[in-house]
């Protein structure tokens, strides 16, 4: 009769053999099934993208009457010299300099394959394709060949506004030129809100998206997150916040302060104007003092106390700069119905500073961390909606109209 030790060894090896056999079976099953799983997902992916490509193509055909020239991808490669001169890069892809047969210079936006899902492309085509305005960038052509998507714009020789107002080197724009650029931006946004057959909300007004031509004429650009609404809609529906942190209106996060409207663009313009007047970013994580971390409240205190804010200009330029700051403070009021309309800003900019009241001090709505990154585009769900931030109850003399 076998000893107990021998029986234990037999039991051990029998169990081990069974385990190995079971593992081998599972691995073999996985290896056999894996190609089918991969093929299935590839099929689903291609089917989804083919359906999306079909939808985009149908859109292009349906709106062919207002679309510019359509280029093939091989044409785009020729125009850019095989993508030789890159002008910039963002989360969407890259922008290249090109030259048409006519000799006109163009800037061509090429989407990354991972971003070429069609939504941003359709947004820009649907919005900017119908716009012909001096203060809005002009779409000259496009390319759509599946994942190969491109938009062709006029080339802006002076680049984006941020390169001029945030630089510490080179020739800065003087205050009068900044003032002229401000007027142009106002006219551009006003046209988007009320100048077309549809109301266009940009949702991403910031210095990086204001381009300057050879005469420093400003052009509102980048309509990737823009939305179209009927002109009679003062409040619009939006399922997720869109834009760049530091320029996004608080009502995109806090639903209890008012609905989303064109006042969201008004807020973004106010933040833009603040940076244009102050020549620095509104959020500065490297500020020496905590009071200067967020620029608008600090600047409000300086102006309200009658202090000069690093103003070395002559008296008239100082007045223009102060006027821009006060107007910007009106436009970044926490509640949307406390902000003036884009029509009102033209009156304020062209009027006497003595007729402009000082607004209430702007409230800070909390963000997770200071951000000054042009790529910081977030979904609404990314942010916490809990806040103890008080809501302004001061009576504001601009009413509650959303008219532009």
pLDDT per position as a tens digit, 214-273: 999 999 998 888 888 888 888 888 777 788 888 999 999 888 888 899 999 999 999 999
Supply the pLDDT for residue 327: 92
- Does 263 belong to an annotated binding site? no
Please answer whether residues 309 and 300 qualify as being in contact, where contact means their C-beta atoms are separated by less than 8 angstroms. Answer: no
Domain identity same for 255 and 236: yes
CATH code where residue 116 lies = 3.30.200.20
Q: Mark which of 101, 122, 154 sits at the end of a domain.
A: 154
> Which residues contact residue 110 at a Cβ distance below 8 angstroms, ignoring those fewer than 6 apart?
76, 83, 93, 94, 95, 96, 149, 150
Q: Which two tokens stand for residue 373?
A: 């990154």
Q: Would 92 be classed as within a structural domain?
A: yes
Q: Would 96 be classed as within a structural domain?
A: yes
Q: Would 106 be classed as within a structural domain?
A: yes
Residue-range definition of the domain harbouring residue 99: 67-154
Q: Would 396 be classed as within a structural domain?
A: no
Residue by residue, DSSP assigns 113-164 as GGG-SSHHHHHHHHHHTT---TTBPPEEEEEEETTEEEEEEE--TT-BTHHH
Q: Would 264 be classed as within a structural domain?
A: yes
Residue by residue, DSSP assigns 179-220 as HHHHHHHHHHHHHHHHTSSSEEE-S--SGGGEEE-TT--EEE
What mean pLDDT do residues 40-45 have?
52
Please answer whether residues 362 and 332 qualify as being in contact, where contact means their C-beta atoms are separated by less than 8 angstroms. Answer: yes
Domain identity same for 166 and 128: no
Nearest to 49 by CA among 104, 132, 114: 114
Reported as a pLDDT band with limits 50, 70 and 90, residue 31 is: low
Domain identity same for 320 and 212: yes
Nearest to 241 by CA among 253, 224, 233: 253
Q: Give the rounded distance of the alpha carbon of 154 from its chain centre.
A: 20
Please answer whether residues 128 and 181 qualify as being in contact, where contact means their C-beta atoms are separated by less than 8 angstroms. Answer: no
Place of tokens 């491109």: 150
Mapping DSSP to helix (H, G, I), strand (E, B) and coil, where does residue 107 land? strand
Q: Would 2 be classed as within a structural domain?
A: no
Q: Would 209 be classed as within a structural domain?
A: yes
Q: Kindly report the average pLDDT of the chain as a whole number.
A: 76
Domain identity same for 287 and 306: yes
Domain identity same for 319 and 353: yes
Active site residues: 204
Q: Considering its fold, how many domains does the chain have in total?
A: 2
Domain identity same for 84 and 169: no
CATH code where residue 361 lies = 1.10.510.10
Domain identity same for 108 and 183: no
Q: Would 233 be classed as within a structural domain?
A: yes
Domain identity same for 139 and 167: no
Domain identity same for 238 and 100: no
Domain identity same for 141 and 178: no
């Amino acid at each position: 009769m076998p000893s107990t030790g021998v029986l234990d060894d037999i039991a051990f090896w029998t169990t081990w053999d069974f385990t190995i056999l079971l593992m081998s079976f599972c691995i073999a099953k996985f290896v056999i099934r894996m190609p089918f799983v991969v093929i299935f997902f590839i099929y689903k992916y291609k089917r989804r993208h083919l359906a999306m490509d079909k939808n985009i193509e149908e859109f292009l055909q349906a709106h062919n009457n207002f679309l510019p020239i359509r280029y093939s991808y091989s044409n785009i490669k020729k125009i850019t010299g095989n993508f030789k001169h890159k002008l910039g890069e963002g989360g969407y892809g890259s922008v290249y300099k090109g030259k048409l047969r006519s000799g006109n210079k163009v800037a061509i936006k090429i989407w990354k394959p991972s971003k070429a899902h069609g939504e941003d492309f359709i947004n820009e085509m649907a919005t900017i394709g119908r716009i012909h305005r001096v203060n809005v960038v002009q779409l000259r052509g496009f390319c759509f060949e599946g994942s190969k998507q491109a938009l062709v714009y006029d080339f802006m020789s002076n680049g984006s506004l941020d390169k001029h107002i945030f630089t510490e080197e080179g020739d800065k724009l003087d205050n009068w030129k900044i003032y002229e650029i401000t007027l142009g931006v106002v006219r551009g946004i006003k046209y988007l809100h009320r100048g077309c057959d549809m109301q266009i909300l940009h949702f991403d007004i910031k210095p990086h998206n204001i381009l300057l031509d050879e005469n420093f004429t400003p052009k509102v650009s980048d309509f990737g997150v823009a939305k179209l609404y009927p002109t009679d809609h003062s409040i619009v529906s939006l399922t997720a916040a869109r834009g760049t942190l530091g320029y996004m209106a608080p009502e995109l996060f806090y639903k209890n302060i008012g609905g989303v409207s064109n006042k969201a663009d008004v807020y973004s313009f106010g933040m833009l104007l603040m940076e244009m007047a102050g020549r620095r970013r509104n959020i500065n994580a490297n500020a020496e003092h905590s009071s200067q971390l967020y620029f608008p409240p600090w600047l409000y205190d300086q102006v309200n106390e009658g202090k000069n804010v690093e103003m070395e200009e002559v008296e008239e330029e100082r007045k223009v700069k102060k006027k821009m700051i006060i107007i910007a403070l009106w436009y970044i009021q926490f509640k949307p119905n406390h902000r003036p309309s884009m029509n009102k800003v033209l009156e304020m900019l062209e009027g006497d500073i003595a007729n402009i009241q000082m607004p209430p001090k702007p409230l800070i709505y909390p963000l997770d961390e200071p951000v000054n990154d042009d790529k910081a585009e977030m979904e609404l769900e990314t942010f916490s909606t809990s806040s103890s931030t008080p809501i302004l109850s001061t009576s504001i003399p601009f009413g509650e109209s959303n008219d532009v």
